[in-house]
Amino acid sequence: MNTRQVDVAVIGAGSAGMSAFRAASKHTDNVVLIEGGEFGTTCARVGCMPSKLLIAAAEAAHAVAEGPHFGVFSENTTIDGAAVMDRVRSERERSVKVGYVLAATGRAPNVDDLGLEQTSLVLDARGVPVFDPHTTQIGDSHVFLAGDVNNHRPLLHEASDEGRIAGDNAGRFPHVLSGTRRSPLAIVFTDPQIAMVGDSFRDLSGQDIAIGSVCFEDQGRSRVMRRNKGLLRVYADPDTRRFLGAEMIAPGAEHLGHLLAWAHQGGFTIDKMLDMPFYHPVVEEGLRTALRDARAELRKRPQFARAA
């Protein structure tokens, strides 16, 4: 067996690994990227992109089925399963090639074969090393943990951020720095979609918060599109009026979620969010209703009376 001495070794060529490799390479050329699995990424091969291709086909079929409700009729509609899967395979191959070069998604958590029990690293009940999510450092060691393997926020964009932080700190070790983390954002591509931004109701349990909500049943644009199902709730701090987080099952939740994540990361108050433009008629007007509801709730609080 050949032995190679390197400054930084990155194990796993997913989103975190690729980002870590690039970040570490800014500090040293003596970096190695180790991958023992299949080429391509979980996201491109079997996860994010293939599943969205199937969802897109299902949405197209659903749109045809909904046609009569809009006065649009189509006869002899068929679904060619083979054609659907041909498109999935074609786009998957394209995504695998491009994704591997640019940024891949992390693997499922798998630390069983790393021999961590032979090290002095402190492990939690799952056998995963205890680490600092802001630096990704395990204790005060020279080992950093990023991506799906730490199961902190198992999402592609989070894995990329963690990889960048881990690679930068590995390259500059022992001068470890805290990295910038984005506002939490998670999306589930159901119908209607589910999205969570910032702090959840569970995260805020026991705290004094103002809640604003909207039901999409009577929301204008949603009714026009026959997608008027769902509920959105926003949370605010009564003292600062700052937007804390939101949870929703709503039409177009992937887009509403992004708007709210930007507002959360920007530290917006409920008032500042309501100062933003809302076009008519759009689904986002439902968000405005929830924000107005939160503002009305804030005005009932003693903090508002003192400020006035």
pLDDT digits (tens, 9 = 90+) for 44-101: 677 778 888 899 999 999 999 999 999 999 888 899 999 999 998 888 777 655 433 3
Residue 304 has what pLDDT?
65
pTM score = 0.81
In a 3-state reduction of DSSP, which class is residue 275?
coil
Exposure of 227 in the CB half-sphere (CA atoms within 13 A): 18
Is residue 155 a contact partner of residue 147, using CB atoms and an 8 Å limit?
no
Picking from 235, 252, 253, the residue whose alpha carbon sits closest to that of residue 244 is 235
Residue 108 has what pLDDT?
43
Q: Look at domain 8-40+104-172 and name its CATH class.
A: alpha beta
Question: Within the chain, how many helices (H) and strands (E) appear?
Answer: 10, 7
Is residue 253 a contact partner of residue 194, using CB atoms and an 8 Å limit?
yes
pLDDT digits (tens, 9 = 90+) for 147-170: 877 777 777 788 889 999 999 999
| Pairwise pLDDT comparison (175 vs 45), residue with the higher score | 175
Does the pLDDT at position 128 exceed 90?
no
Q: Kindly give, in sequence order, each residue whose CB lies less than 8 Å from that of residue 249, ignoring residues fewer than 6 positions away.
A: 190, 192, 193, 194, 229, 230, 231, 232
What are the sequence ranges of the domains in the chain? 8-40+104-172, 42-101, 185-307
pLDDT digits (tens, 9 = 90+) for 258-293: 999 999 999 999 999 999 999 999 999 999 999 999
What CATH number is given for 185-307 in this structure?
3.30.390.30
In this prediction, residue 26 has a pLDDT band, given cuts at 50, 70 and 90, of very high
Angstrom CA distances, 252 to 50, 68, 125, 285, stand at 20, 22, 38, 12
- Topology at the third CATH level for domain 42-101: Helix Hairpins (1.10.287)
